[in-house]
Amino acid sequence: MNIQWFPGHMAKTRRLVSENLKLIDVVIELLDARIPVSSKNPEIDELIKGKPRLIALNKSDLADQAVSSEWSKWYGLNGYTNIFIDSVKGRGINELKSRLREIMREKIEREKQKGRISRPIRTMVVGIPNVGKSSFINRIAGKASAATGDRPGVTRGKQWIRINEQIELLDTPGILWPKFEDKRVGMNLAFTGAIKDDIIDTIELAASLLERLAQVYPENLKGRFKLEPLEDKTGLELLEMAGRRRGCIISGGQIDFSRISAIVLDEFRGGRIGSISLETPGEIIKQGI
């Protein structure tokens, strides 16, 4: 499956980030905790030009906690301030605010020593579509201050949001790079819904997801869809098995592949197949990323 997607408004967003960076003290880079590498825009490092950064790994409730612990250690060892959060339930949001103040502590002290009145810390949140930015902003602001949706690309434009007396946040739309040079990255983004389903063959996507899960989380797959045996089965065969288990049958006893594909993708994205991480630090180190 060859995935290419670069809506025109995303080029505009890159310019927006670059142009407004001079107003920012700290950049909050929002990633998907299940796919920290695939959900990272590789242009961000160049765009933020060395600004202090806090990496917030969202949707941590959907990720494998053991793998998330490995990622936290990996980021720490590589000098990145990071925190795992759940924007829906609010887990980690207060700690994130504290981390922002820690990052800016020295600068704030210098300002005080010069007799300057401290102003709010100005932050910018950046992330790819459907990584949960709008839900994150609503949660951190304590009110529904940004439009939310379960489809990528809902947010547009630019707005300042007052978090509290100490923090202000500049929202920007999600940005995604124009070409997926690594097929695995494109697939991970499609699995998690960062790429619109209406431009993808969802049957092929669901089959690929089942094939991946059979390799890395076989017990989850067996438990949710009662699929056995998994060994030596192609993704399409697994999808057919799941379809029969769920009663996705049409006339003539044929499998309704569109229906079971929608079910598989929906249940994965909603965490009903279990807490799953599709990338680990060990794999990234091995691949040299």
What is the count of structural domains for the chain? 2
Instruction: Tell me whether residue 125 is in a domain.
Output: yes
Residue 220 and residue 116 share a domain: no
Instruction: Tell me whether residue 221 is in a domain.
Output: yes
pLDDT at 180 over 80: no
Does 59 count as an annotated binding residue?
A: yes
| pTM across the whole model | 0.87
CA distance linking residue 229 with residue 231, whole number of Å? 6
Does 61 count as an annotated binding residue?
A: yes
Cβ atoms of 81 and 55 within 8 Å: the answer is yes
Boundary residue ending a domain (171, 190, 218):
171
Residue 150 and residue 74 share a domain: yes
Task: Note down the domain range covering 234.
Answer: 201-287
Instruction: Tell me which amino acid residue 146 is.
Output: A
Residue 77 and residue 130 share a domain: yes
Predicted confidence at residue 47, as pLDDT, reads: 84
Closest CA to 154 of 184, 185, 196, 188: 196
CA distance linking residue 54 with residue 37, whole number of Å? 15
Residue 242 and residue 149 share a domain: no
Instruction: Tell me whether residue 3 is in a domain.
Output: no
Residue 167 and residue 205 share a domain: no
Mean pLDDT of the 234-256 span: 95
Instruction: Tell me which amino acid residue 70 is.
Output: E
Q: Burial level of 148, CB count in 10 A (0-12/13-18/19+)?
A: middle
Does 22 count as an annotated binding residue?
A: no
The CATH number linked to 133 is 3.40.50.300
Residue 157 and residue 40 share a domain: yes
Provide the total of helices (H) and of strands (E) in the chain, helices listed first. Answer: 11, 8
Residue 240 and residue 130 share a domain: no
Instruction: Tell me whether residue 186 is in a domain.
Output: no
Cβ atoms of 57 and 29 within 8 Å: the answer is no
Q: How far is CA 35 from CA 32, 111, 167, in A?
A: 5, 38, 28
The CATH number linked to 257 is 1.10.1580.10
Look at 46-55, 92-101, 212-221, 274-283 and tell me which has the smallest mean pLDDT: 46-55
Does 132 count as an annotated binding residue?
A: yes
Residue 146 and residue 45 share a domain: yes
Residue 279 and residue 166 share a domain: no
CA distance linking residue 216 with residue 210, whole number of Å? 10
Residue 209 and residue 130 share a domain: no
Does 220 count as an annotated binding residue?
A: no
Residue 240 and residue 128 share a domain: no
Predicted confidence at residue 154, as pLDDT, reads: 43
Residue 69 and residue 157 share a domain: yes
Closest CA to 225 of 204, 248, 246: 246
Cβ atoms of 25 and 173 within 8 Å: the answer is no
Instruction: Tell me whether residue 176 is in a domain.
Output: no
Instruction: Tell me which amino acid residue 280 is.
Output: T
Does 131 count as an annotated binding residue?
A: yes
Instruction: Tell me whether residue 44 is in a domain.
Output: yes
Note the pLDDT tens digit of each residue in 107-151.
Answer: 888 877 787 777 789 998 888 878 888 899 889 988 645 444 444
Instruction: Tell me whether residue 66 is in a domain.
Output: yes
Does 251 count as an annotated binding residue?
A: no
